[in-house]
A and B are shown apart, each in its own frame.
Chain A
Amino acid sequence: MYPYYEQDWSVLPPENNRRFNPAFNMATIRQAFTEAVERVRMPTPTRLRDLIRQIRAARTAAEERAVVNKECAYIRSTFREEDSVWRCRNIAKLLYIHMLGYPAHFGQLECLKLTASTRFTDKRIGYLGAMLLLDERQDVHLLITNCLKNDLNSSTQFVVGLALCTLGAIASPEMARDLASEVERLMKSPNTYIRKKATLCAFRVIRRVPELMEIFLPATRSLLSEKNHGILITGVTLITEMCENSSDTLMHFKKDSGNREIVPNLVRILKSLILGGYSPEHDVSGVSDPFLQVKILRLLRILGHNDPDASEAMNDILAQVATNTETSKNVGNTILYETVLSIMDIRSEGGLRVLAVNILGRFLLNSDKNIRYVALNTLLRTVHADTSAVQRHRTTILECLKDPDVSIRRRAMELSFALINAQNIRTMTKELLLFLEKADAEFKAQCSSGMILAAERYSPNSRWHLDTQLSVLIAAGNYVRDDVVSSTIQLVSSSPVPEQTYITNRFWESLQVANHCEDKQPLLQVAVWAIGEYGDLFMYGVNEDEFERPTESDLIAVYHKFLTSAQVSTTSKQYALISLAKLSTRLQQCVEEIQALITSFGSHLNVDLQQRGVEFTQLFGTYKHLRPPLLEKMPAMQISRISSQNGESGGSFDDNSPDVMENGIELGGSGTHPLIESNMNTMGDNTNILLDLLGSTDLSVGASDLAMATDLSNAVHKKNTRNANNDVTSNATVSNNQDLLDLLDLDMSAASTTAVMGVNLSADHNSAANMNTMLGGLDLSGFGGLNSMQPSSIPTNGNDLASMLGGLNAGVGGAPSTAAVPPIGGDVNSSSLLGELNPTTVSNNVTVPLQRAKLTALDKNGLVVQLLPVPGSDCMKICITTTNSSDNTLEQYVLQAAVQKSFKLQMLTPSDSVLPPGGVITQEMRVVATSNAVLRMRLRIQYTLDGQQLVEQTEVSGFPEQQLSNE
């Protein structure tokens, strides 16, 4: 029989289908005959195998492309000709071309035509094409849904099978809904071939549309009483999916599963599998149907989870599986692995759990890498539940740290961290340090942070802790995260004096080793910090440990080496400069060398280093008397993050320690705490305002600032941030300080630490304790976070950020001298700390103001803003006087200013924020020019009048010429 005369099931309607001819007369037969002869005469299309040969014979990609393009063009043309005889061959070729990565979507409709054909070959290829070529496009799906519906009702089991298989692979939610009832009907078919396929189809339907679960429930009842393994395994798969998806269904299965209770039923099947004799059909190297066994074990796990009765019912069989399974091959271990997971997840007996952990212990020793990997993975999952059992395999786990396989090393490392406790911290740390030294770059950051966390929690004494910290810094080099630097600084600062001397000596020693400065920058940073901070102890204190002390000139020579090395990062140089400044008050002879070195930075190419150079130079000249108090030793810092977490988790520590650990690691890493994020968002807004003000289009400034804020979150005391954020939200009243801070925030949007800290200050309910933590935060910002972000921020927005930060840094240095410097406000509230920054410079800048013309910036509705510029030696001071001659009171008055990038602007606290009729607000700002440009200034004045917020913007120019501040 020629296929030509077969009834054509084309998707086209009969009137468009020229071969569909109801009038089957002589004329049409003749016509058909001539057509057939034509076809024989015409060359037949290339055979699939020939095409594949041609493509494989292509020597270059271009050649291959040429062959494919030619064939595709040919296939397209045959599609146009409605030629159904070769359609299936053409589609097959197209599928091969598709696999090579060429576009083949023009064949989608042809696939559908094939599936509608009556020939099985066509259907087979058609559905294969449909599975490969169809995406979830709706128009095509309607067509395929119809084809599927037809074929699901076919009398040939294989046609039904093809349709079910296709539905299982590409069911979209719409298709699932449309065909669910058909699938449900087929699930009850007496034909096992169809039934098992329909059951898995139901599984897919539920995956896509969980609501459809209901209609399949009755049909699942009989599945587990079948003998056929195909039906059993698909049935268990379907029930597992249902139970995982809905707790109601889980209850339904537990209570009533039609014939018998589900747990005993599954136990029976499993038992017959392990105890039943050899069945060649399902045997896999001595294990009877491992596929089915694993599926059953998994369903048992779900049923026994948090259910003592069900767990009781399966204890025995689990023990039987665990002891009876042959473990020489992968199959056996597959089953044991699943059994262990089930034992750990249900309410199993203690003895069974020990058995499970021992199985994993054996796995760890297995020569097969896959088994070892699985064991580590499972131990990691179960370590929370039963730490002591896992501890027994500690040595084996540590061995796995040396495995050549990355996947295994990663798991072993994570597991090692989970196993650290107060008893084994020393040995574990020793092993992990060895690992850290040799570890790939990708591990170093996580491993070092993890070790620091563990040491912080379990260290037996402070000497050991300090040594560990140092070893980690040495071993992990440049890969350590910023949190390690800050936590080490905190640790050192809170250690007793002898320890500080000791560790400073150790740091000094470690700096002597070659290469340590380039590829161990974090170590360098911590080391110079410690040497600067404890220089007096280091050089002249009690030398208990009998370290060899360098001479002062040796010390300065090393600093000189770092500061001039091109390999040392700017951040490290920042640390070194501050450290050097500190040393100037601690050393006895080399002060001049220090001064010379610092002064040389006054012309450094890096803006921030230059700024530091210039500002520290001031401390050797005009403000010499301020140097000792400003560079006092830091007060001991509160141990931050980790200890506070420790406090919170309290006694239940052992139970959830791995979680805490992970949190810690995560925090240290990206620091995407929601609070911090929200903080960043508001900062982003502010930055935008600033950009508005500056009239700048450089949005990247904002972006980089945000990025820096993320970095900062590492350094910011987590709790502090939280407090501060709370304060931001709760503190609705706008105080003077906050006004300033708004500006600070605007101008130095990157400096979230300062902003956060400042806001904290302005909060009324600050207690002394809070002050302390703030100091901690301050210091961190001074030496960790802020420093590290300055270099990137300066070149981008180059405004007054640096000068402000400089001021802050000086303030940080002099933090303990808060009491010595009289606070501006008189009352010692928390805001005085911020005020303290100002008087240090205010009180020492008693230049007589020259009479100059006042510039009127704004004169509107009785509100007059006047600027009085007073050129000074290093900066221009501008006094802003705002008067109110109207009859209304202006509240929440805020003046913000912005200048070009070539200037640096610093604004001081205004005298008030409320402007009553006839009232005056004064405020001072300082402008430092960094290039010879004409100063222009934009002002934004914001106030509330009768509860309505008003904003004025104005631009001021005509300031007197200013000399460059840095000569």
Chain B
Amino acid sequence: MLFMLLFSRQGKLRLQKWYMAYPDKTKKKITRELVTTILARKPKMCSFLEWKDCKIVYKRYASLYFCCAIEQNDNELLTLEIIHRYVELLDKYFGSVCELDIIFNFEKAYFILDELLIGGEIQETSKKNVLKAIASQDLLQEDETPQSFFDDHGLG
């Protein structure tokens, strides 16, 4: 996988994960182009797009579009499964996830993605293991956050 983008139906970017080193300007350009192309597609169309030298796989979940760029040799259908797995994980973590959860806890969404993929490849196929890892790290974070007069110490 080359990159993953999450954006809303209004075209607002909600999450971006780049596994290729593009300059910032290019990233913005790619994002803009893809968001407009995908939003212009009708719901009945298939989830794949040929774009430049890669393939774009996207899927809409409620108000959010999940969009991945993969290489020519990669399995498009499997990419849909990866997207779905990520959505399942978000759902389990937040408890019936919605767009607002991802907006307000975007860092958590990134953390979950980073436990699922590294360098654009799947690292863990067990949902349980991913969630366990996230939970342990959250616990680690809570432990070191003082509870006394710096009450709102964390990210708030």
Q: How far is the CB of A336 from chain B (nearest CB, A)?
A: 9
Contact across chains for A284 and B81 when beta carbons are under 8 A apart: yes
Stretch at the interface among B61-69, B90-98, B119-127: B119-127
B59 vs chain A, min Cβ distance (A): 9
> Are B156 and A48 neighbours in the complex by a CB distance under 8 Å?
yes
Binds B, one of A119-127, A262-270, A531-539: A119-127
Interface hits, A42-63 → B, CB 8 Å: 44, 47-50, 52, 56
> How many Å lie between the Cα of A330 and that of B110 in the bound state?
26
Does A399 make an interface contact (CB < 8 A)? no
Q: Is A10 an interface residue (CB 8 A)?
A: no
A337 touches B119 (CB 8 A): no
| Minimum CB–CB distance for A425 against chain B, Å | 28
Decide yes or no: A165 and B118 within 8 Å by CB, A95-B107, A281-B128, A337-B77 being known contacts: yes
- Residues from chain B with a CB closer than 8 A to the CB of A334 are 75, 77-78, 80-81
Say whether A128 contacts B110, CB under 8 Å.
Answer: yes
A residues in contact with B104, CB < 8 Å: 49, 52
Cα distance A407–B49 when bound, in Å?
7
- Alpha-carbon separation in the docked complex, A121 to B42 (Å): 42
Asked if A201 and B81 sit within 8 Å, CB to CB, the answer is no
Select which of B18, B46, B125, B137 is within 8 A of A233 by beta carbon. B125
List CB contacts (< 8 Å) of A180-223 with chain B: 193, 196-197, 200-201, 203-204, 207
The stretch from A370-378, A508-516, A873-881 touching chain B is: A370-378
Q: Which of A89, A156, A168, A229 contacts B118 (CB 8 A)?
A: A168
Chain B min CB distance to A886 (Å): 63
Residue in A100, A170, A172, A374 whose beta carbon sits within 8 Å of that of B76 in the complex: A374
A52-B103, A52-B104 in contact; A234/B77 too (CB < 8 A)?
A: no
Question: Are A161's CB and B46's CB within 8 A?
Answer: no
Q: Does B13 contact A (CB under 8 A)?
A: yes
A223 to chain B, nearest CB (A): 13
B75:A294 contact, CB within 8 angstroms: yes
Q: Check if A698 is an interface residue, CB within 8 A of chain B.
A: no
Chain B residue nearest to A241 (CB atoms) is B121
Q: A121-B141, A230-B129 are in contact. Are A405 and B75 (CB under 8 A)?
A: no
Contacts of A56 in B (CB 8 A): 103
Known: A120-B141, A233-B123, A370-B77. A47 touches B23 (CB 8 A): no
**A357-382 Cβ-contact flags toward B at 8 Å (1 or 0):** 00000000000011111100000000
Report the minimal beta-carbon distance from B21 to chain A, rounded to whole angstroms: 5
Residue of A nearest to B12 (CB): A100
Smallest Cβ distance from B74 to chain A, in angstroms?
Answer: 9
Interface residue? A142 (CB, 8 A): no
Would B125 and A337 count as touching, CB distance under 8 A?
no
Assess whether B156 is in contact with A50, with CB atoms less than 8 Å apart: yes
Give bound CA distance, A1 to B114, whole Å.
Answer: 30
How many pairs of A and B residues are in contact by the CB < 8 Å rule? Answer: 186
**Does A230 lie within 8 Å of B81, measured CB to CB?**
no
Q: Which residues of A contact B13 (CB under 8 A)?
A: 99-101
Residue of A nearest to B144 (CB): A119
B134 shortest CB reach to chain A, Å: 10
Q: Any chain A CB within 8 A of the CB of B53? A: no
A200 touches B124 (CB 8 A): no
B21 and A136 contacting across the interface, CB-CB below 8 Å: yes
B-facing mask of A774-815, CB < 8 A → 1, else 0? 000000000000000000000000000000000000000000
Given A135-B24, A408-B46, A169 contacting B81 (CB threshold 8 A)? no
Asked if A290 contacts B81 (CB within 8 A), the reply is yes
Query: What's the nearest-Cβ distance from chain B to residue A391, in Å?
Result: 24
One digit per residue, 1 when the CB lies within 8 angstroms of any chain B CB and 0 when it does not, for chain A 922-966 equals: 000000000000000000000000000000000000000000000
Nearest CB of A to B133, in Å? 7
CB of A158 within 8 Å of the partner chain: yes
Tell me whether A197 and B123 are in contact (CB under 8 A). Answer: yes
CA distance A559 to B61 in the complex (A): 60
**Contact partners of A24 in chain B: CB under 8 A:** none
Chain B nearest CB from A37 CB (Å) reads 10
Q: How many residues of B contact A (CB 8 A)?
A: 61
> Are A128 and B122 closer than 8 Å at their CB atoms?
no
Within 8 A of A (CB), among B26-73: 28, 42, 44-50, 73
Q: What's the Cα separation between A305 and B45 when bound, in Å?
A: 34
B151 to chain A, nearest CB (A): 9
In contact, B119 and A201 (Cβ under 8 angstroms)? yes
Instruction: Report Cα–Cα, A408/B47, bound state, in Å.
Output: 11
Q: Knowing A168-B119, A334-B77 touch, does A125 contact B137 (C-beta < 8 A)?
A: no
Q: List the B residue with the shortest CB-CB distance to A337.
A: B77
Contact between A120 and B140, CB atoms less than 8 A apart: yes
Q: Are B119 and A407 in contact (CB under 8 A)?
A: no
Tell whether A135 pairs with B23 under 8 Å between CB atoms, given A128-B110, A203-B121. Answer: yes
* Bound: A156/B103 CA distance, A: 29
**How far does the Cβ of B29 sit from chain A's closest Cβ, in whole Å?**
12
A48:B19 contact, CB within 8 angstroms? no
Contacting pair A369 B110 (CB below 8 A): no
In whole angstroms, how far apart are the Cα atoms of A201 and B46 in the complex?
Answer: 33
Whether A200 contacts B47 in the complex (CB less than 8 A), given A128-B110, A370-B80, comes out as no
Contact across chains for A2 and B146 when beta carbons are under 8 A apart = yes
A651 an interface residue at 8 Å Cβ cutoff? no
Assembled-state Cα–Cα distance A52/B127 (Å)? 30
Which residues on the A side are within 8 Å of B106 (C-beta)?
Answer: 95-96, 99
CB distance from B147 to the nearest CB of A (A): 11
| A40 at the B interface (CB under 8 A) | yes
Q: Is the CB of B21 within 8 A of A230?
A: no
Contact among B75, B107, B140 for A337, CB-based, below 8 A: B75
Q: Which residues of A contact B153 (CB under 8 A)?
A: 3, 85
CB proximity of B81 to chain A, nearest CB, Å: 6
CB <8 Å contact, A158 and B137: yes
User: Which residue on chain B has the smallest CB distance to residue A44?
Assistant: B152
Nearest-CB residue, chain A, relative to B148? A2
| B155 with A47: CB separation less than 8 A | yes
Contacts of B119 in A (CB 8 A): 168-169, 171, 200-201, 203-204, 207
For the complex formed, measure the closest distance between the CB of A130 and the CB atoms of chain B, giving whole angstroms: 12
Q: Which residues of B contact A92 (CB under 8 A)?
A: 107, 155
State the Cβ distance, B148 to closest chain A Cβ, in Å. 8
Question: Which residues of chain A have C-beta atoms less than 8 A from B45's C-beta?
Answer: 369, 404-407
Q: How far is the CB of A884 from chain B (nearest CB, A)?
A: 61
CA A284 – CA B82 in complex, angstroms? 11
Which A residue's beta carbon lies closest to that of B55?
A: A377
Bound Cα distance A374, B79 (Å): 13
**Chain A residues within 8 Å of B124, by CB:** 196, 229-230
A152 to chain B, nearest CB (A): 14
What residues on A are CB-neighbors of B24 within 8 Å?
A: 105, 135
The yes or no answer to A237 lying at the interface (CB within 8 A) is yes
Instruction: Give bound CA distance, A308 to B82, whole Å.
Output: 33
Q: Does B123 lie within 8 Å of A169, measured CB to CB? A: no
Does residue A443 face the partner (Cβ distance < 8 Å to B)?
A: no
Taking the complex as formed, is B15 at the interface, i.e. its CB lies under 8 A from any CB of chain A? yes
Q: Is A291 an interface residue (CB 8 A)?
A: yes
Q: Tell me the smallest distance from the CB of A496 to a CB of chain B, in Å.
A: 44
Do B21 and A158 have beta carbons less than 8 Å apart? Answer: no
In the complex where A281-B126, A331-B81 touch, is A121 in contact with B156 (Cβ < 8 A)? no
Q: Could you jot down 18 A-B contacts, CB within 8 Å?
A: A2-B146, A47-B156, A89-B156, A99-B106, A119-B144, A121-B145, A121-B154, A132-B16, A135-B24, A196-B123, A282-B126, A290-B81, A291-B125, A334-B78, A334-B80, A338-B78, A370-B46, A404-B44
- Residues of B participating in the A interface, judged by any CB pair closer than 8 Å: 13-19, 21, 23-24, 28, 42, 44-50, 73, 75-78, 80-82, 85, 103-104, 106-107, 110-111, 114, 118-119, 121-129, 133, 136-137, 140-141, 144-146, 149-150, 152-156
Q: Using A120-B144, A204-B119, A291-B81 as known contacts, list a sample of 18 further A-B pairs with CB atoms less than 8 Å apart, ordered by residue number in A.
A: A47-B155, A47-B156, A49-B104, A95-B107, A121-B155, A156-B140, A165-B114, A171-B119, A200-B118, A230-B123, A233-B123, A281-B127, A291-B82, A294-B78, A369-B46, A372-B46, A405-B46, A407-B45
Q: Which 10 pairs from chain A and chain B are nearest by CB? A: A47-B156, A168-B119, A334-B77, A369-B46, A204-B119, A168-B118, A200-B118, A405-B45, A373-B46, A230-B124
